[in-house]
Structure 1
Amino acid sequence: MVQSVQGNTRKILLVDDEPSIQKMLTRALEREGFEVHTAGDGEEALEAFSAYQPHLIILDIMLPKLDGTEVCRRIRAQSDVPIIMLTAKDDEIDRVVGLELGADDYVTKPFAVRELVARVRAIMRRVSVPAGQRQDELSYDGLKINIPSRRVSVEGREIDLTYTEFELLVTLASNPGRVFSRSALLTRVWGDEFRDERTVDVHIRHLREKIERDPRNPEFIHTARGVGYVFR
């Protein structure tokens, strides 16, 4: 049984308009101990999000009424809940758009159920890490990161980060001067091997846009050419 740190079963909102996918994923996720609530269109997804308050959302892009990208955008305006997007096979535009809007991960259709469940479990493990395992607060030249509260500010101005952006920032800022390869960041932050390294680049760009005074000339997150990234 997958439990939160408070002892409550983790809740997943599954949004897909194909009943066969809903049934297949619900069965697989419930076997892992998750509680699953389903929605079949974008409007129903937003209503369910408000009423159900899930710990994670699995969100198909192609939906009736409101598509998944619009649902993601509206949820991101009010919450940093982890979101895994389901995208069409080999549709790089959908994947990039999803990440641009703040999705934490994506899985392309058709997919192996085991792969999706592995990604869900990886995110849930990150959500469940007790704050006491890491230094409570990091501070660097106007950038402050409070880990227990998941609050980030730059020169006193609070910054809204998605769940994955925050985890990526903490990973880098907790190890100043250490160069992380893209593959190392994928393992540290996403927790499994099913990743395109460009995922890291998109999230780093978003992070720079939010925390750097000049994203084109970063002060905090630097590129280690040919390797990855380093926090200085």
Structure 2
Amino acid sequence: MPEEPQPNALLVEDDSTDRMEVKIQLEVMGFTVFDISSAQEAREIFPIRDYSLVLIHLGHAPLEALELCRQIRAQSTVPILALTQRGEVLDEELALGAGADDYVTKPIEQRILTSRVTQQIKRGESQRAPRKTLLTWENLSLDLAEHLFRIGGKEILLTNSEYRFLQLLMENPQRVFPKEQVLIAVASLRQSANGSVESYAQQLRAKIKRNGGPDVIDVVRSVGFRLASQELSDVSESLPA
């Protein structure tokens, strides 16, 4: 049986020392942590994957952090923990008013953070809709539970980067992803030898076609990449074979 994937946590913290300490503690608790320093980065990567937990430090730009909290709450029921400074009662009230489920004050005590995270995860699991585990498009299927890719029922071996790139597109069939978001979502592409998302997309498309699959990736000029769609072909072009 395949192992259950680790839950994802998004950590938005502008203090590098605190960010590393919280990240390590969350990893010990079994999370895959995506840690960033700004609300703008959070807006870019939040829609890319499912998160089981979001932690937002009000930090040096509290109004921006509160607006991020509102935006995430408008899109999702994911549990949100605000990280606030000790004694800043107003920050705590504002965070809860902006959609945070709870808060943890700094300096952060491990046992408090663990307790609050555990409580929110249990609450979130009871409210969370089951995640789709089989993605299909024409004769392609991506089994998220088994981590398998098939074309017409035949299993095709993909690298982890290829799998994540294809998963990103198939989970968001109407969305165009800029190159920068692809690099964030598929971190291993940043260490790729050629360093080009365009050439990597071309290689993946060619592999799928060689194995009997359709043209799967469209590039929207000066914008980014998406799952190919005949209905939208007037504004996009297929990558060259």
Aligned to 1:188: none
Aligned to 2:37: 40
Aligned to 1:72: 69
Offset from partner CA, 1:165-218 (integer Å, 9 cap, x none): xxxxxxxxxxxxxxxxxxxxxxxxxxxxxxxxxxxxxxxxxxxxxxxxxxxxxx
Checking the alignment, whether the CA contact within 8 Å between 2:80 and 2:101 is kept in structure 1 is yes
Aligned to 1:181: none
- Give SS of 1:86's match: strand
Q: Distance in 1 between matches of 2:128 and 2:93?
A: 30
Q: Does 1:121 align with 2:140?
A: no
Aligned to 1:56: 53
Q: Distance in 2 between matches of 1:25 and 1:108?
A: 12
Checking the alignment, whether the CA contact within 8 Å between 1:86 and 1:107 is kept in structure 2 is yes
Aligned to 1:10: 7
Q: Distance in 2 between matches of 1:65 and 1:95?
A: 11
Q: Distance in 2 between matches of 1:125 and 1:26?
A: 20
Aligned to 1:31: 28
Checking the alignment, whether the CA contact within 8 Å between 1:76 and 1:102 is kept in structure 2 is yes
Checking the alignment, whether the CA contact within 8 Å between 2:25 and 2:110 is kept in structure 1 is yes
Offset from partner CA, 1:91-112 (integer Å, 9 cap, x none): 1111111111111000111120
Moved over 3 A (4+): 63-66, 147-150
- What are the equivalent positions in structure 2 for 1:84-95 lying under 5 Å apart? 84-95=81-92
- The residue type equivalent to 1:128 in the other structure is E
- The residue type equivalent to 1:53 in the other structure is D
Checking the alignment, whether the CA contact within 8 Å between 2:10 and 2:33 is kept in structure 1 is yes
1:148–1:85 distance in 2 versus 1, CA, 3 Å = closer
Q: TM-score, normalised by structure 2?
A: 0.48
Please report how far the alpha carbon of residue 58 of structure 1 lies from its aligned counterpart in structure 2 after TM superposition. Answer: 0.6
Identity of aligned residues (%): 34
- Give SS of 1:102's match: coil
Checking the alignment, whether the CA contact within 8 Å between 2:78 and 2:124 is kept in structure 1 is no
Q: How many residues align?
A: 128
- Give SS of 2:72's match: helix
Checking the alignment, whether the CA contact within 8 Å between 2:82 and 2:102 is kept in structure 1 is yes
Q: Distance in 2 between matches of 1:16 and 1:148?
A: 25
1:34–1:149 distance in 2 versus 1, CA, 3 Å = closer
Checking the alignment, whether the CA contact within 8 Å between 1:17 and 1:41 is kept in structure 2 is yes
The structure whose residues are more often helix, as a share, is 2
Please report how far the alpha carbon of residue 70 of structure 1 lies from its aligned counterpart in structure 2 after TM superposition. Answer: 1.0
Offset from partner CA, 1:37-83 (integer Å, 9 cap, x none): 11101101111211233111010012559621011011122112110
1:128–1:76 distance in 2 versus 1, CA, 3 Å = closer
Q: TM-score, normalised by structure 1?
A: 0.50
Please provide the CA RMSD for this pair: 2.4
Q: Structure 1, unaligned stretches of length 5 or more?
A: 1-5, 130-146, 151-232
Q: Distance in 1 between matches of 2:7 and 2:108?
A: 23
